[in-house]
Amino acid sequence: MSDEDKRGAIFVLRQRERVRRVHIAAPSASLHYLVGAMDNEYPILQRLIIRSQAQRPENHNGTRNRNRNRSDNVTVTLRAEFRAPLMHHLILSNVAIPTSSRLLSSAGSDLVWITLQNLPASSPDFHPAHLTAQLGALSRLEVLTVHFSVAIPNRDVRRRLQGASTMRVVLPRLRRLAYRGGTTYLEGILARLETPELRTMNVEFFNQLSFSLPSLLQFARTTALTFLSAELHFDEDFASLIVDPLDKYAGGDDGRRTHPLLLQVKGKLLDWQVTSILQICSAIAPLLAQTEVLTLGFHKIGPDPAAAGAAEAGVVEAAAGWQGGDIAVDRVQWRALLRIFAGVKTVQLTGGRVGDLFRAIQPRHGESNNSGNDIGGGEGEGNGEGNGEGEDGGAFSPEVLPVLQKLVLRGWGIAADVFTSFIAASDAAGRTVRLIRK
């Protein structure tokens, strides 16, 4: 911006009693001047949108994978004196709110939409107790989004929460909650928040070794979320748990609706993805036990077409280009994961390489009941040598899904012969599982 443009914009922003809407998208260097001019009360301001362009715009490429770009270290901070008592829409991107600010609390009951994107991790004082306390007066709030640019270390969040208030805040009209960051910060929010009318919750976790989510189950039970259909998707860069009230394939999903519950973890390695999703599913296991339809999507990039044809013909067991060899799976982890969905009657398989995955988590030909090949420790189901594996070494077996009735294959590249042994084992166990291709 030229100096003349800056002077003109600052002049306009200082006409506080005349400004109803502010929408600024500019480089952070210019925003420092503009935001600095907003240092008092705006009595009729209704909509505030400030987007700092310190980061490159996000690339939504139309697939499940979203290439997110990290913001740089230049952050714009609102003035603590800035207030807008009639504001109903607040959208900030790469803009920090100081703890001394009364922006949220001064807005009162008029605020219905809050989006805080790319919050800087350099503001540890903006901890969950502080945030929820600011939300206490927002009785009409309907949408809340809290996205961090990078994860705040969990230990830093725990330290800031020591001695903080544990008072719960009720948001009676909140219908949509979105979060991106670490688990400890989210837990700090959920432990202090009640949202009886919540319909949509989207969460994206950054990489971390373990996922402790004791408040997630209690929070989900106090919302309007329903758990009848679930999806597990394993993509190139992340894994997802999606929970819907109904099976999307039964209702002609148009692809544009939001999911009632979406929990996503970033990471590439399959075993790491499974371990992470297992911990997340375990946190809400009593609710997932109600699901009747489970969709398992395997969207990893597989081998070239020639290798894929050989795999479908049974020439090779399973080739996985992203790991340079056969699919390496920990079947103990898979058994623990699938057992959470013990009430499932229909399993739907989708993704070009899901047949390879299914084959990999089945017992290998000639494998004995106590075989320990390719079995690692996990979740108390064995000692890494197969002694706790149960009836067979496979993860996908009739004993793991005791009431399964239908196995539905969706999409291309799934060879039906891969499932022959599973269907035969179900028949031997006295239960008929229908194999359906759609």
Residue 314 has what pLDDT?
37
Does the structure show a pLDDT above 90 at 180? yes
Does the structure show a pLDDT above 70 at 256? no
pLDDT-based confidence at residue 233 (cuts at 50, 70, 90): very high
Distance CA 63, CA 193 (A): 32
**Cα–chain center distance at 166:** 25
Higher-pLDDT residue of 65 and 411 is 411
Does the structure show a pLDDT above 70 at 49? yes
Residue 130 has what pLDDT?
82
Determine the Cα angle at 44 with ends 43 and 46, to 5°: 125
Buried residues in 82-108 as b, exposed as e (16+ CB within 10 A): bbbeebbbbbbbbbbbeeebebbebbe
Among 49-58, 142-151, 314-323, name the one with the lowest average pLDDT: 314-323
Distance CA 425, CA 397 (A): 8
Does the structure show a pLDDT above 80 at 198? yes
Length of the chain counted residue by residue:
438
Residue 362 has what pLDDT?
75
Among 28-32, 39-43, 326-330, 386-390, name the one with the lowest average pLDDT: 386-390
pLDDT single digits (tens) 359-388: 888 765 544 444 333 333 333 333 333 334
Could you list the beta-strand ranges (E) of 28-88: 47-52, 59-60, 66-67, 76-77
Q: 281 and 337 in contact (C-beta within 8 Å)?
A: yes
Residue 326 has what pLDDT?
52
pTM recorded for the entire structure:
0.80
Among 91-105, 154-168, 342-356, name the one with the lowest average pLDDT: 154-168
pLDDT-based confidence at residue 292 (cuts at 50, 70, 90): very high
Residue 249 has what pLDDT?
58
Residue 312 has what pLDDT?
42
pLDDT-based confidence at residue 324 (cuts at 50, 70, 90): very low
Residue 410 has what pLDDT?
84
Does the structure show a pLDDT above 90 at 286? yes
HEC-encoded secondary structure of the chain: CCHHHHHHHHHHHCCHHHCCEEEEEECHHHHHHHHHCCCCECCCCCEEEEEECCCCCCEECCCCCEECCCCCCCCEECCCCCECCCCCEEEEECEECCCCCCHHHHHHHHCCEEEEEEECCCCCCCCHHHHHHHHCCCCCCCEEEEEECCCCCHHHHHHHHCCCCCCCEECCCCCEEEEEECHHHHHHHHCCEECCCCCEEEEEECCCCCCCCHHHHHHHHCCCCCCCEEEEEECCCEEEEEEECCCHHHCCCCCCCCCCEEEEEECCCHHHHHHHHHHHHHHCHHHHCCCCEEEEEECCCCCCHHHHHHHHCCCCCCCECCCCECCCCCHHHHHHHHHCCCCCCEEEEECCCHHHHHHHCCCCCCCCCCCCCCCCCCCCCCCCCCCCCCCCCCCCCCCCCCCCCEEEEECCCCCHHHHHHHHHHHHHCCCCCEEEEC
Span 318-338, mean pLDDT? 65
pLDDT-based confidence at residue 393 (cuts at 50, 70, 90): low
Span 100-111, mean pLDDT? 82
Span 211-217, mean pLDDT? 92
Residue 72 has what pLDDT?
42
Distance CA 222, CA 362 (A): 38
CB atoms within 10 A of CB 273: 22
| Nearest partner of 115 among 88, 136, 139, 137, judged by Cα | 88
Residue 45 has what pLDDT?
95
Distance CA 122, CA 73 (A): 9
Does the structure show a pLDDT above 70 at 305? no
Buried residues in 342-355 as b, exposed as e (16+ CB within 10 A): eebebbbbbbbbbb
Among 171-185, 273-287, 345-359, 390-404, name the one with the lowest average pLDDT: 390-404
Residue 75 has what pLDDT?
73
Distance CA 201, CA 208 (A): 21
Among 10-14, 105-109, 288-292, 371-375, name the one with the lowest average pLDDT: 371-375
pLDDT single digits (tens) 93-103: 988 888 788 88
Looking at every residue in the chain, the average pLDDT score rounds to 78
Q: What is the CA radius of gyration of the chain?
A: 25
Higher-pLDDT residue of 367 and 222 is 222
Higher-pLDDT residue of 76 and 90 is 90
Span 227-249, mean pLDDT? 85
pLDDT-based confidence at residue 254 (cuts at 50, 70, 90): very low
Percent of the chain exceeding pLDDT 90 equals 39
- End-to-end alpha carbon distance in the chain: 57
At residue 331, what are phi and psi to the nearest 5 degrees?
Answer: -70, -20
